[in-house]
Structure formats: C-alpha cells, structure tokens
Amino acid sequence: MSMLLQEVVGELSKLPGIGRRTALRLAMHLLRMECDSVDDMTTAIARFRHDIKHCTCCNNLSDTELCPICTDAERDRSTICVVEQVADLLSIENTHQYRGLYHVLGGVISPMQGIAPSDLKIDLLCDRIEQGGVKEVILAISTSVEGETTLFYLMSRLRRFEGLRITSIARGIGFGDELEYVDELTITHAMLNRREIE
C-alpha cells in the first residue's frame, strides 16, 4: 500500500468509532474533495486543538477567556445548571428554553477510571456560589452509577450554602418512549413522582 495512504488511514483510525475500513473510505473521500476544502478542514482541526480555551468561569469551551454565555448580559445570573460535559450544555442550549448560566464539571467521579472529585471543576463551582447572587443550582447529571455518586458528592458540598435552592432535572418517561420498553427504575420514579392533571 502507498505510504501516504497507509499514514492517513493509520491516523484516521485512531479516532473513536473509526476502524481501518472506515478510515480507508474517508481517505478515498478526501481524494474526491477539492484540495482547498481539505486544507480548510485540516486548518479548522489544528486551530481548534491549539487555540480553544476553557471559560475561566464555567469551564465551557470558548474562543476567549470568558464564554459567550457567561458574558451575555441577557442571561439570568442567579441560576446555574451543572452538567458533566460540553455536549450536554449544547443539548440544553438547543432547546432554547433555559436562560440561566452553566457549569461544566468536565466528567463524573469514577474510581474505576481514576477520576476523583478534585479532577472535576467542583471547587470552581463553589467559588462561583460563594461570590453571591446564585439562588438556584440545577443538577443535570446522568443517572449512571458514576452520575449518582457525583450527585451525592455535589449535594454534600452545596448543602452548606444557606438559602441556595438545589434541584435536579426531572426523571420520567421521555416523550415518544413506549412504556413497554422503558426500564423498571424509570417507571418506578415516574409513578412515585406522578402529578395531578391540571
């Protein structure tokens, strides 16, 4: 095989979910693309890796010291939604319903993967709350074992802030989910947290 082809296939197959066969298909696609388009792509990748920053306030990805959400004067600064990762923040932003601020932990506590509370941006969150003005912290953490551990730990850290409302996003049956296929734990939660129909 051509060395150049071998190299590009080797590099692309280092990416998650991309095996050698997919890498080869991608390489063949690159050949069909204009040189300029390929250059645009490699430049975007290199610039992203070298120049991206983490917002010093909320740990969101940002081009600048502070991210556009933290600097947005229109947003409600009294509410902070805590998420595991940037992708979760983007999912919530896509709903266009939430107008508060965020805090990106950068993962969940996982002894198995050697992620301790100190590896997450929990101190930074406490500092933010200490500065005052925060009335509610919404915990939007996944319901995995690691997520629950993180939730528990966060609660122990946040409880000391007097008057701070700590909430968790609602658990229940998703829209479009078939009850038949929903797991028992979710159904149990959904039954216990049932609401009056108004």
| Residue 4 host element (H or E) | helix 3-12
Q: Looking at beta carbons only, is 86 or 164 nearer to a second copy?
A: 86
Nearer to a second copy, 68 or 174 (CB): 68
Smaller CB separation from a second copy, 52 or 116:
52
CA–CA gap between residue 150 and residue 82 (Å, rounded)? 11
Q: Does 41 sit near a second copy (CB under 8 A)?
A: yes
Sheet holding 136-140, edge to edge: 100-104, 76-83, 136-140, 165-168
| 110 secondary structure, DSSP code | B
| Nearest to 138, CA basis, from 173, 172, 98, 109 | 98
Helix axes 3-12, 20-32, angle to 10 degrees: 120
Q: Does 26 bind a second copy (CB under 8 A)?
A: yes
Q: How far is the CB of 112 from a second copy (least distance, A)?
A: 18
Q: Applying CB under 8 A, which of residues 35, 73, 179, 192 lies at the interface with a second copy?
A: 35
147 vs 172, which CB is nearer to a second copy? 147
The residues binding a second copy (CB under 8 A) are: 1-5, 7-8, 10-12, 14-17, 22, 24-31, 33, 35, 37-52, 60-63, 67-68, 85-87, 90, 93
